[in-house]
Amino acid sequence: MDLSTTYLGLKLKNPLVVSASPLARDLASIKQMEDAGASAVVLFSLFEEEIRHESVELDHYLNVGTNSFAEALDYFPEYEKYNIGPEKYLEHIQQAKKAVDIPVIASLNGSTMGGWIEYSHKIEAAGADALELNIYHIPTDAGVSGQEVEQLHLNILTEVKKHISIPVAVKLAPYFGSMAHVARQLDWAGADGLVLFNRFYQPDIDLDALEVTPNVLLSTPYDMRLPLRWIAILHGQIEADMAATSGIHSGADVVKMLLAGATVTMMCSALLQHGIGHIKEVLDGLQTWVTQQDYQSLEQLRGSMSHEHCPNPAALERANYIKALNTFQQYAP
């Protein structure tokens, strides 16, 4: 069956996209992704805060102790140039574009409005096929309302859209009072796609050191349940494309997401775990299933199990919870 599809207006040969990950730091890996069958690649994020921090940090440490003591007016040789700033990332976009034929989607995490706009511009100019806005924001201030958080997302999208013409997707966290409402707002504001969901690094506590330690865990197939639900719910309610990300490890997982209504599915953890070649297995799994089930096209398949189209929409709502609770009680002492 022809697996080709369109995401963010980009013609893709299949619905399997490699999501933002450290794998894309290496050009050879990007080439491997293409060879294994990935239809597009999202580059790792350009973090504005990191660039700013890097600049401030370098300046700080090159300044410390200077011009204080007559015998040691400085401590380091100074280079004529440092690779600080977005240049390295932009160059990476250019090189990736040269290395592969599949679309290259850049990812940006800004920390100021000026940064979002400036770097979006530069990313577009560097030749990215599309831009994913990685809005990584944890509202820790109890004085900030949910509405303000939502507005921040909308503002970023609106401003970026105003300044660039390549397609723009928004990668979201699931933590909104009304997820569907936020999705629709972003859709109306011109998002070409929504990437569901961003997985935050969740902290842990080190009992020996009594310190909070960020704990990076790879996704498991269970993690796909959350985006699955929301894609199923949003399908038909918004026009923007939806990319499913988190917990997609097999062809079956891809199928489920497509059934729920995803335009494309994105993979990262599974590739980190099993290698880039795993893409081929996933695609084979997808192809086998759709062939065995005799689907004619992805369009036919997509959303057929969405909230709107599935036989038991309640299962996507609270029933799911009740069932889980019952199961738990079964095993309770």
Q: By the criterion CB under 8 A, which residues form the site for other proteins?
A: 51-52, 54-56, 58-85, 88, 210-211
Q: C-beta of 95: minimal distance to other proteins in Å? A: 14
197 φ, ψ to 5°? -135, 165
Name beta bridge partners: 168.
131
Nearer residue to other proteins within complex by CB, 81 or 318: 81
| Contact of 266 with 245, CB cutoff 8 Å | yes
Nearest approach, Cβ of residue 82 and other proteins (Å): 4
Q: Which tokens go with 41?
A: 């690649």
DSSP 244-268: EESS--SHHHHHHHHHHT-SEEEES
Sign of CA dihedral 192, 195, 196, 199: negative
Q: How many CB atoms lie within 10 A of CB 4?
A: 13
Q: Rounded to the nearest whole angstrom, what is the least distance from the CB of residue 205 to other proteins in the complex?
A: 9
Q: Which is nearer to other proteins, 56 or 319 (CB)?
A: 56
How buried is 263 (Cβ within 10 angstroms: 0-12 exposed, 13-18 middle, 19+ buried)?
Answer: buried
| CA-based torsion, 246, 265, 195, 112: positive or negative | positive
What's the closest the beta carbon of residue 62 comes to other proteins, in angstroms?
7
195 near 169, Cβ under 8 Å? Answer: yes
Q: Hey, what amino acid is at 91?
A: E
Handedness of CA 292, 297, 298, 304 (dihedral sign): negative
Output 26 or 35, the one with its CB closest to other proteins. Answer: 26
Whole-number minimum distance, CB 108 to other proteins, in Å? 16
Minimal distance in Å, beta carbon 81 to other proteins? 6
Least separation in angstroms between residue 60's CB and other proteins is: 8
**Is the CB of 65 or the CB of 139 nearer to other proteins?**
65
Q: Give backbone dihedrals phi and psi of 40, rounded to 5 degrees, phi first.
A: -165, 165
CB closer to other proteins, 114 vs 177: 114
Q: Quick one: 216 or 332, whose CB is closer to other proteins? A: 216
Question: Please, which residue, 88 or 181, has the CB nearer to other proteins?
Answer: 88
**b/e sequence 5-24, b meaning 16+ C-beta within 10 Å:** bebbebebbbbbbbbbbebb
- CB burial class (10 A; 0-12, 13-18, 19+) of residue 69? exposed
Nearer to other proteins, 26 or 239 (CB): 26
CB of 77 to other proteins, least distance (A): 4
